[in-house]
Structure 1
C-alpha cells in the first residue's frame, strides 16, 4: 500500500526493495526555501542495521501490511519476552532487539501493541505513561525551590529518573515511556 512519506510515524513498517524496515524516528523538515522533506531513521528488521532515508513529503512510499494487536506482557526469560493475546490466549515470544530500550518500562500484565508481519513480531508500542514506585532518592533539602531543580531517583525496576525535590522514597510516580521523564505523582 502506497502512502505519502509525510504520513509515516514511529513504529510504521516500510517495504523498500523487498526488505522490511521499522521507523525509529520520523521528522518533517520545512526549510524556508525549497521543498519540504521527511527524514526517517529506520532499522532493517532482518538484521537490525540502522539506515537513514530522506524523501520529499509528497513522494509515495510502500508501507508493508502489518497486523497491530493488543498483547499482555507475561514474563522475560532466555528465549525473549513472552506476550499473550487476551482474545484467544495465543502466546508470542518477542526477541530482545525488538523490545530494545522499552524493556525497563514493562510490567506484569501490561497491555502493549505488537506489530506482527506474517506472524513474526517486528515492533512494539508501549502505553504512553506508566506508574512506578521510587525505591530510593536523596532527602529533600530545606529552602530548595521546586520549580528549578530536580534530584536523581531510582525506581523499583532499577531505572534512574530525575524528580522534583519534594518527592520521597516510596512515592508512586507517573513516567512518560517515550523518554523516561517524570510527569506527576500517581493519583492512586
Structure 2
C-alpha cells in the first residue's frame, strides 16, 4: 500500500495554495497517495474530513492553522507530521476576526463566531505526548504568527528554524529533502 501524504492548508486558504501545489509536484516523483482536501472554516468539520482520510500508512504536512490540525491528528493517531509556521493557539489569533469573513481562495462568505473559537480550544494539545512524531519548520520573519511561540511549544520536537522569511515560508522548496526524510517518503 502506498503511503498517504495529507497536506493541510491554513486558514482562509485552499488546496490551491502555493505550498500544497509545489509539494504535490514533488510527490509526483514518489509512489504516494497525495491528498489536499479543501477545508472550510468549521474546525470540527475540518477535523472530521481529515480523520476520514487517515489510513494506517498516513503522514501529515500542515501549514499555519493546518499545522495546528496536523499536531492534533499526529498526537491523537500517533502519526508523523511536519508543521510549517504553525499556529500554536489559533483560538487567540482568530478572536479579532470574529464576524463576517470571506475566503477568497474558495470563494465563499461566512461568519466566524465563538463556537469556532471554542472548537479550536477543544482541539488544542496542551502537552505533546509524542514530540518525536513532529518536525517544526519555522521562519523568524513570520509576519502573522510569533515564531517564538512555535519554537517554545515544539521545543521537544525536531526543529528547523530559519532566520528571516515570512508566513508563506520563503524558500519552501529548500526543505523538501528534510520533509521527505522525516516522513520517510520513498
Q: Which has the higher helix share?
A: 2
Q: Which has the higher strand share?
A: 1
Give the shorter-chain TM-score range. under 0.3
Higher relative contact order (CA 8 A, sep 6+): 2
Structure with max Cα Rg: 1
Q: TM-score, normalised by structure 1?
A: 0.22
